[in-house]
Amino acid sequence: MNARTNSDIAAAPWAGRIYGAGWQTANGGTVEVREPATGDLLATIGLADAEDVDRAARTAATAQPAWAATPFDQRAAVLRRAEQLLAERADEFQHWNVREAGSIGPKAGWELQATREQLSMCAALPMQPIGQIFPSSMPGRTNHWRRVPIGTVGVIAPWNFPLLLAMRSVAPALALGNAVILKPDVQTPVIGGALIAQLFADAGLPEGVLQMLPGGPATGDALVRHPLVDMISFTGSTAVGRSIGSTCGQMLKKCILELGGNNALVVLEDADLDAASSSGAWGAFLHQGQICMQAGRHLVHRSVADRYAQLLSARAQALHVGNPHAGPAHLGPLINDRQAERVQGMVDDAVRSGAQLVTGGRREGRYYWPTVLTGVRPTMSAFTDEIFGPVAPITVFDTDEEAVALVNSSHYGLTAAVHTRNIPRGVSLAQRLKSGMVHVNDQTVNNEFHVPFGGMGASSNGGRFGGPANLDEFTQTQWVSVMEAPITYPF
């Protein structure tokens, strides 16, 4: 990573600002950006308030029609140029992902590459068919059914994968002719907002089509409630998603909600335990477990549970915890003190309730060591709740029917995995799970940019990201019928 001085950061165009029709002073003042690993001040950036949201919404509503009317090849060219610039600026994006989000280098590198793939895919969206012609029972009538932009899309993005989870909404929305107002989390406003805004500005996107407003709950609420914001794409907690969904429902506003998960990794008695424990470690501990797709419940057949716990614990003990900016590490810090305290509290509660701590359970500030728990029962919070930390709770089962019931007992339904040497059995079991995504002989943290992504139950309101799903999510449809001659009706 390249070193950056305080003067370099202070000279950045986004320092202390938000992005509207260019970089602007925010009415809400500024917010400090601090490194989760050290608490050091990294930067300041503008903090948007309701007045900023109103100004952005009005600017977007003015700019969007011309962008929608821009020929498809010119919109595609902006997306392709943004992907090229992202590749050229990889070091800068990597630096901020590590410093702001506490990402280890390989995770930040994967996120950057996945974001490039998103941009490349979205550059192809404008050239897709925009409609169909339907027959009519009335002679001389032609029925045109076409996709049209929604208008202005508000994107509320999280801090854990701040670049990718912002871009997976920003890029398709722009490609399909919408304006976008992006609200990054205040913990990651540079990698998740400022650098994205500058990227598209330098790629030639017209002013006003993309705006970036860092802020907290009040900023998000103003964005959701603004009448000129036609759609909300939200990635975050189920509790906040329920509130946003309720507001959008009252306003008859389209929204996509990609929410939490308490994902199960099921290990059958015939599984390859070395491979299963590798999937279990990756799924539970990657990015300190701060992933909605984290393997938060390890459901293991009783006959192999002890061996699986041994193998998983050995993998956990081999992982290095440390500041990813200072040197190589497998796990960096949790995002803030509150989350570190919550994880410790859930582990302590499980042990008090009868679970056994096999390894981990150690906390130093925001650093939490990878933890394996056995004897976890379905009544414990470590089983029922999303942990969002590097904890692998193991629960045993005896039959496939019991495994299915345990998986489906959660009100979440984002992703799951099944490990078995019997592929038909694994597929059969997968098809019985109430989960938007199921992976046989793999782990739960899976994403392919061209495959529609989304959950069931409390993990989603049915929206999907990726591939052909983007065409449905970021457009609306219009029916235009044309008669060769006007009709005269009975009255």
Strands 179-183 and 141-149: unpaired
CB-CB contact of 94 with 109 (8 Å): yes
Listed residue (318, 329, 325, 268) closest to 298, CA to CA: 268
CB 211 within 8 A of CB 19: yes
R_g of the chain, CA atoms, integer Å: 24
Q: CA nearest 170: which of 160, 159, 186, 182?
A: 182
CA–CA separation, 474 vs 359, rounded Å?
45
DSSP H or E segment with residue 427: helix 423-430
Residue 175 and residue 401: Cα distance in Å, rounded? 45
Select which of 35, 100, 111, 258 is catalytic.
258
Hey, what are 484's tokens?
């060769």
What are residue 476's DSSP bridge partners? 148
Selecting among 292, 341, 402, 448, the annotated active-site residue is 292
- Bridge partners for 457 per DSSP: 412
**Could you confirm whether 122 is annotated as catalytic?**
no
Which SS3 state, helix, strand or coil, does residue 27 take? coil
Is residue 448 among the annotated active site residues? no
- CA torsion, ordered 170, 173, 174, 180, to nearest 10 deg: -60
Kindly list the catalytic residues. Answer: 258, 292
